[in-house]
Amino acid sequence: MAQLLLVGNSRWHWAEAAAEGWRCWHGPPPTPGQPPAWDQLRAWAAVGPLPAGCAPPPQCAIGLGQVPLADLPPWLGIDRALVGWGAWHAEGAAALVADAGTALSLTWVDGDGRFRGGRISAGAALQRRSLAQATALLPAPQAPAAPMDWAAADPWPLDTETALQQGCWRATAAAIALGWRELSRLDPDPRRRLWLTGGDGEALAPLLEAEGLAPQWAPDLALQALAALPAVGLLS
Protein backbone atom coordinates (compact mmCIF):
# COMPACT_ATOMS: atom_id res chain seq x y z
CA MET A 1 0.00 0.00 0.00
CA ALA A 2 1.22 3.48 -0.86
CA GLN A 3 2.57 5.79 1.82
CA LEU A 4 3.17 9.54 1.82
CA LEU A 5 5.39 11.60 4.10
CA LEU A 6 5.61 15.30 4.89
CA VAL A 7 8.59 16.20 7.08
CA GLY A 8 7.56 19.12 9.29
CA ASN A 9 9.53 21.37 11.61
CA SER A 10 8.81 19.30 14.71
CA ARG A 11 6.84 16.23 13.55
CA TRP A 12 6.68 13.82 10.66
CA HIS A 13 3.27 13.51 9.00
CA TRP A 14 2.34 10.23 7.34
CA ALA A 15 -0.52 8.98 5.20
CA GLU A 16 -1.24 5.46 4.04
CA ALA A 17 -3.73 4.31 1.44
CA ALA A 18 -5.94 1.52 2.70
CA ALA A 19 -9.08 -0.25 1.50
CA GLU A 20 -11.30 1.87 3.76
CA GLY A 21 -9.60 5.13 2.76
CA TRP A 22 -6.61 7.12 3.90
CA ARG A 23 -5.09 6.68 7.33
CA CYS A 24 -3.03 9.62 8.59
CA TRP A 25 -0.82 9.83 11.64
CA HIS A 26 1.79 12.17 13.06
CA GLY A 27 4.80 11.60 15.27
CA PRO A 28 8.32 12.68 16.16
CA PRO A 29 11.19 12.29 13.72
CA PRO A 30 12.87 8.87 13.75
CA THR A 31 16.02 8.30 15.73
CA PRO A 32 19.13 9.32 13.72
CA GLY A 33 20.58 6.35 11.91
CA GLN A 34 17.37 4.31 12.29
CA PRO A 35 15.26 5.18 9.26
CA PRO A 36 11.76 3.83 8.71
CA ALA A 37 11.17 1.18 6.08
CA TRP A 38 10.89 3.06 2.79
CA ASP A 39 9.61 0.23 0.57
CA GLN A 40 6.00 1.54 0.53
CA LEU A 41 6.87 5.24 0.21
CA ARG A 42 5.27 6.76 -2.91
CA ALA A 43 6.17 10.44 -2.37
CA TRP A 44 7.60 12.76 0.25
CA ALA A 45 8.34 16.43 0.80
CA ALA A 46 10.21 18.23 3.54
CA VAL A 47 10.08 21.63 5.19
CA GLY A 48 11.97 20.54 8.30
CA PRO A 49 15.38 18.91 8.77
CA LEU A 50 16.13 15.28 8.04
CA PRO A 51 17.91 13.41 10.85
CA ALA A 52 21.30 12.01 9.97
CA GLY A 53 20.96 8.68 8.23
CA CYS A 54 17.17 9.01 7.81
CA ALA A 55 16.81 10.60 4.39
CA PRO A 56 13.93 9.16 2.32
CA PRO A 57 14.69 7.93 -1.21
CA PRO A 58 15.49 10.95 -3.42
CA GLN A 59 13.58 9.53 -6.39
CA CYS A 60 10.35 9.96 -4.39
CA ALA A 61 10.98 13.60 -3.46
CA ILE A 62 8.44 16.26 -4.40
CA GLY A 63 9.53 19.86 -4.95
CA LEU A 64 7.89 23.16 -5.79
CA GLY A 65 8.15 22.49 -9.50
CA GLN A 66 5.66 19.64 -9.15
CA VAL A 67 2.97 21.72 -7.41
CA PRO A 68 0.70 23.18 -10.14
CA LEU A 69 0.00 26.47 -8.34
CA ALA A 70 0.60 29.48 -10.58
CA ASP A 71 3.10 32.22 -9.69
CA LEU A 72 4.91 30.24 -7.02
CA PRO A 73 8.06 32.07 -5.90
CA PRO A 74 11.17 29.87 -5.63
CA TRP A 75 11.57 30.60 -1.90
CA LEU A 76 8.13 29.34 -0.85
CA GLY A 77 8.04 26.41 1.55
CA ILE A 78 6.68 23.20 0.06
CA ASP A 79 4.18 22.92 2.93
CA ARG A 80 2.61 26.27 2.04
CA ALA A 81 2.54 25.39 -1.65
CA LEU A 82 0.80 22.08 -0.90
CA VAL A 83 -1.90 23.46 1.39
CA GLY A 84 -2.53 26.45 -0.89
CA TRP A 85 -2.92 24.28 -3.97
CA GLY A 86 -4.85 21.64 -2.01
CA ALA A 87 -7.44 24.14 -0.80
CA TRP A 88 -7.89 25.64 -4.27
CA HIS A 89 -7.96 22.22 -5.94
CA ALA A 90 -10.66 20.96 -3.56
CA GLU A 91 -13.25 23.54 -4.61
CA GLY A 92 -11.74 25.53 -7.49
CA ALA A 93 -12.23 28.70 -5.45
CA ALA A 94 -10.12 31.34 -3.74
CA ALA A 95 -8.74 30.34 -0.36
CA LEU A 96 -6.90 31.64 2.65
CA VAL A 97 -5.15 28.75 4.37
CA ALA A 98 -4.11 29.12 8.00
CA ASP A 99 -1.56 26.40 8.78
CA ALA A 100 -1.17 26.52 12.56
CA GLY A 101 1.80 24.48 13.66
CA THR A 102 5.25 25.44 14.95
CA ALA A 103 4.80 28.49 12.76
CA LEU A 104 1.52 30.09 11.75
CA SER A 105 1.48 30.60 8.01
CA LEU A 106 -1.30 32.33 6.10
CA THR A 107 -1.37 31.54 2.39
CA TRP A 108 -3.62 33.35 -0.08
CA VAL A 109 -4.61 31.69 -3.37
CA ASP A 110 -6.98 33.50 -5.71
CA GLY A 111 -9.85 32.00 -7.68
CA ASP A 112 -7.60 31.39 -10.69
CA GLY A 113 -5.26 29.19 -8.69
CA ARG A 114 -2.48 31.77 -8.31
CA PHE A 115 -0.33 32.26 -5.24
CA ARG A 116 -0.94 35.84 -4.07
CA GLY A 117 1.20 36.03 -0.94
CA GLY A 118 0.85 35.42 2.75
CA ARG A 119 2.17 35.95 6.25
CA ILE A 120 4.29 33.98 8.71
CA SER A 121 4.44 34.34 12.48
CA ALA A 122 5.23 32.19 15.51
CA GLY A 123 2.68 29.55 16.45
CA ALA A 124 1.13 29.47 19.92
CA ALA A 125 3.63 27.02 21.44
CA LEU A 126 6.61 28.81 19.92
CA GLN A 127 5.34 32.12 21.31
CA ARG A 128 5.10 30.51 24.72
CA ARG A 129 8.66 29.14 24.63
CA SER A 130 10.07 32.38 23.25
CA LEU A 131 8.53 34.42 26.04
CA ALA A 132 10.18 32.19 28.64
CA GLN A 133 13.56 32.45 26.90
CA ALA A 134 13.48 36.22 26.40
CA THR A 135 12.18 37.33 29.82
CA ALA A 136 13.40 36.99 33.38
CA LEU A 137 10.14 36.28 35.17
CA LEU A 138 7.92 34.34 32.79
CA PRO A 139 8.21 30.60 33.45
CA ALA A 140 9.16 27.97 30.91
CA PRO A 141 6.42 25.50 29.98
CA GLN A 142 6.80 22.23 31.84
CA ALA A 143 4.81 20.18 29.32
CA PRO A 144 2.83 20.80 26.13
CA ALA A 145 -0.29 22.72 27.11
CA ALA A 146 -3.58 20.97 26.46
CA PRO A 147 -6.07 22.97 24.36
CA MET A 148 -8.19 25.13 26.61
CA ASP A 149 -11.91 24.80 27.12
CA TRP A 150 -12.65 28.25 25.78
CA ALA A 151 -16.27 28.26 26.93
CA ALA A 152 -15.26 27.62 30.54
CA ALA A 153 -11.91 29.43 30.71
CA ASP A 154 -11.60 32.95 32.07
CA PRO A 155 -10.40 35.14 29.18
CA TRP A 156 -8.74 37.50 31.70
CA PRO A 157 -7.02 35.10 34.15
CA LEU A 158 -5.26 36.16 37.34
CA ASP A 159 -2.46 33.57 37.29
CA THR A 160 0.59 33.86 35.03
CA GLU A 161 0.49 30.40 33.43
CA THR A 162 -3.12 30.72 32.27
CA ALA A 163 -2.48 34.29 31.14
CA LEU A 164 0.36 33.02 28.95
CA GLN A 165 -1.84 30.33 27.45
CA GLN A 166 -4.71 32.71 26.82
CA GLY A 167 -2.43 35.33 25.36
CA CYS A 168 -0.57 33.04 22.96
CA TRP A 169 -3.63 31.12 21.73
CA ARG A 170 -5.70 34.27 21.30
CA ALA A 171 -2.86 36.12 19.57
CA THR A 172 -2.64 33.29 17.05
CA ALA A 173 -6.40 33.30 16.44
CA ALA A 174 -6.39 37.10 16.15
CA ALA A 175 -3.69 36.99 13.47
CA ILE A 176 -5.86 34.64 11.41
CA ALA A 177 -9.02 36.70 11.91
CA LEU A 178 -7.27 39.96 11.02
CA GLY A 179 -5.79 38.44 7.88
CA TRP A 180 -9.19 37.13 6.78
CA ARG A 181 -10.93 40.46 7.32
CA GLU A 182 -8.22 42.50 5.60
CA LEU A 183 -8.24 40.12 2.65
CA SER A 184 -12.02 40.29 2.43
CA ARG A 185 -11.81 44.06 2.02
CA LEU A 186 -8.94 43.84 -0.46
CA ASP A 187 -10.55 41.23 -2.69
CA PRO A 188 -14.21 40.56 -1.77
CA ASP A 189 -14.53 37.22 -3.56
CA PRO A 190 -17.75 35.66 -2.19
CA ARG A 191 -16.48 32.13 -2.85
CA ARG A 192 -13.31 32.48 -0.82
CA ARG A 193 -13.01 29.92 1.97
CA LEU A 194 -10.95 30.04 5.15
CA TRP A 195 -9.14 26.74 5.59
CA LEU A 196 -7.59 25.69 8.88
CA THR A 197 -4.93 23.02 9.21
CA GLY A 198 -1.92 22.18 11.36
CA GLY A 199 -1.52 20.73 14.83
CA ASP A 200 -3.13 23.71 16.59
CA GLY A 201 -5.96 24.15 14.12
CA GLU A 202 -8.65 22.22 15.95
CA ALA A 203 -8.02 24.15 19.19
CA LEU A 204 -8.12 27.49 17.33
CA ALA A 205 -11.39 26.76 15.51
CA PRO A 206 -13.71 27.73 18.42
CA LEU A 207 -11.91 31.06 18.84
CA LEU A 208 -12.34 31.83 15.14
CA GLU A 209 -15.98 30.77 15.19
CA ALA A 210 -16.56 33.11 18.15
CA GLU A 211 -15.30 35.92 15.90
CA GLY A 212 -17.91 35.09 13.27
CA LEU A 213 -15.59 33.16 10.97
CA ALA A 214 -16.39 29.75 9.51
CA PRO A 215 -13.09 27.89 9.05
CA GLN A 216 -12.99 24.65 7.08
CA TRP A 217 -11.04 22.31 9.38
CA ALA A 218 -8.80 20.08 7.27
CA PRO A 219 -6.16 18.49 9.50
CA ASP A 220 -4.52 16.50 6.69
CA LEU A 221 -4.76 19.06 3.90
CA ALA A 222 -1.06 18.92 3.01
CA LEU A 223 -1.04 15.12 2.78
CA GLN A 224 -4.26 15.12 0.73
CA ALA A 225 -2.70 17.65 -1.63
CA LEU A 226 0.45 15.55 -1.90
CA ALA A 227 -1.65 12.53 -2.87
CA ALA A 228 -3.60 14.54 -5.45
CA LEU A 229 -0.59 16.02 -7.24
CA PRO A 230 -0.45 14.98 -10.89
CA ALA A 231 3.15 13.87 -10.26
CA VAL A 232 1.90 11.47 -7.57
CA GLY A 233 -1.57 10.62 -8.86
CA LEU A 234 -3.10 8.85 -5.89
CA LEU A 235 -6.22 11.03 -5.69
CA SER A 236 -8.32 12.62 -8.41
Please tell me the distance from the alpha carbon of residue 156 to that of residue 197, in angstroms, as a whole number.
27
* Mean pLDDT confidence for 219-235: 91
Confidence of residue 17 (pLDDT cuts 50, 70, 90): confident
Please tell me the distance from the alpha carbon of residue 58 to that of residue 48, in angstroms, as a whole number.
16
Percent of the chain with pLDDT over 70: 97
Residues in Cβ contact with 131 at an 8 Å cutoff, skipping those fewer than 6 apart: 138, 164, 168
Domains of the chain: 3-122+168-228 (3.30.420.40)
CA distances from 100 to 5, 103, 127, 229 (A): 18, 6, 12, 22
Is 79 catalytic? The answer is: yes
Check: CB of residue 220 under 8 Å from CB of residue 23: no
* Mean pLDDT confidence for 95-99: 98
* Mean pLDDT confidence for 222-234: 91
Q: Which residue is catalytic, options 39, 71, 79, 187? A: 79
pLDDT tens, 150-194?
888 899 999 999 999 999 999 999 999 999 999 999 998 999 999
For the sheet containing 21-27, what is the strand order? 21-27, 12-18, 3-7, 41-46
Please tell me the distance from the alpha carbon of residue 90 to that of residue 194, in angstroms, as a whole number.
13
Half-sphere exposure of 226 (CA within 13 A, CB side): 30
Q: What pTM was computed for the model?
A: 0.92
Rounded to the nearest integer, the mean pLDDT of the chain is 92
* Mean pLDDT confidence for 13-36: 88
pLDDT at 71: 97
Q: Is the pLDDT of residue 236 over 80?
A: no
Half-sphere exposure of 214 (CA within 13 A, CB side): 3
Q: Is the pLDDT of residue 147 over 80?
A: no
Please tell me the distance from the alpha carbon of residue 57 to that of residue 69, in angstroms, as a whole number.
25
DSSP 22-73: EEEEEEPPPPTT-PPP-TTEEEEEESSPPPTT-PPPGGGB--GGGS--BT--
Neighbours of 34 (CB within 10 A): 9
Q: Is the pLDDT of residue 51 over 70?
A: yes
CA-wise closest residue to 220 among 29, 15, 64: 15
pLDDT at 145: 60
